[in-house]
Amino acid sequence: MSDLRDDIANDAAGDLPFTLAGVRRGARQSIPLALGTAAYGLVFGALARQAGLGLTEVVSMSGLVYAGAAQLVALELWAPSLPVVAIVFTTLVINARHLLMGATLQPWFGRLSPGRGYGAMFFLTDESWALTQRDLQTERRDGAVMVGCGLVLMVAWVGSTAAGHTLGVIAGDPARWGLDVAPLAVFAALLVAGWDGRGRLLPWLTAAIVAVITERILSGAWYVPAGGLAGGVIGALRDED
């Protein structure tokens, strides 16, 4: 484990580039993922309209919250007497995985100025994190990759949620249009991109098994942080070995 920390420290010893070229590279790499995000956004926009949210509210939520899974769960809790505490708490639970993601990026992004570092973190999503992590393992590493990726994904997300609300393209069950598989397709693409050998298999399987068991035992979205923490612990032990 100490060797791994030394390698990360050595990689991050110099300043992390943060360039316009990195923005462009991140934008290009995220285009395939943006297509899946857009399909996902159509689902959310249409369901939000059915829940009674106006276009301005939908666009504001997508632009400010910028968390698809949390937004869909919030819709499930939406009611005339708005359960604010339940929505906020559930959103925090679902997005707790971002604490782990941010921690993995700190050795590099901690070298950036506060404006660049925290500004880039606004665009932290599962997709932008995966692409940025992969980029940081290359000699061309550039912190602005996250910004480029995040900008493209945000445009796709906000634009598609607005389109889904305006057009009402989904009547009833999203499965009728085949768009219910969009989130699964996006995460499957991230897994393929993140695969670098059989060493990844045990942490991923552990995370999946713990998440499934937790979902069966506990109500709500506790399976998200539970699976993430379990996989992270196994991954850390594997690296120590």
Question: Residues of 32-61 as b/e, b for ≥16 C-beta within 10 angstroms?
Answer: ebbbbbbbbbbbbbbbbbeeebeeeebbeb
For the chain, give every domain's residue range.
Answer: 2-194, 199-241
pLDDT at 28 over 70: yes
Give 158's pLDDT tier (boundaries 50, 70, 90).
very high
Give residue 5's pLDDT band: very low, low, confident or very high (50, 70, 90): very low
Cα-based torsion angle of the residue sequence 112, 113, 114, 117 in order, rounded to the nearest 10 degrees: -30
**Average pLDDT over the chain, rounded to an integer:** 79
* pLDDT tens digits, one per residue of 37-95: 888 888 888 888 888 889 999 999 999 888 887 887 788 777 777 777 777 877 777 78
Judged by average pLDDT, the poorest of 76-80, 99-103, 143-147 is 76-80
- Amino acid 136: pLDDT: 92
pLDDT of 73: 74
Q: Which of 91-95, 110-114, 130-134, 208-212 shows the lowest per-residue confidence on average (mean pLDDT)? A: 91-95
pLDDT in tens, 191-206: 665 566 666 678 878 8
Chain Cα centroid distance, residue 85? 23
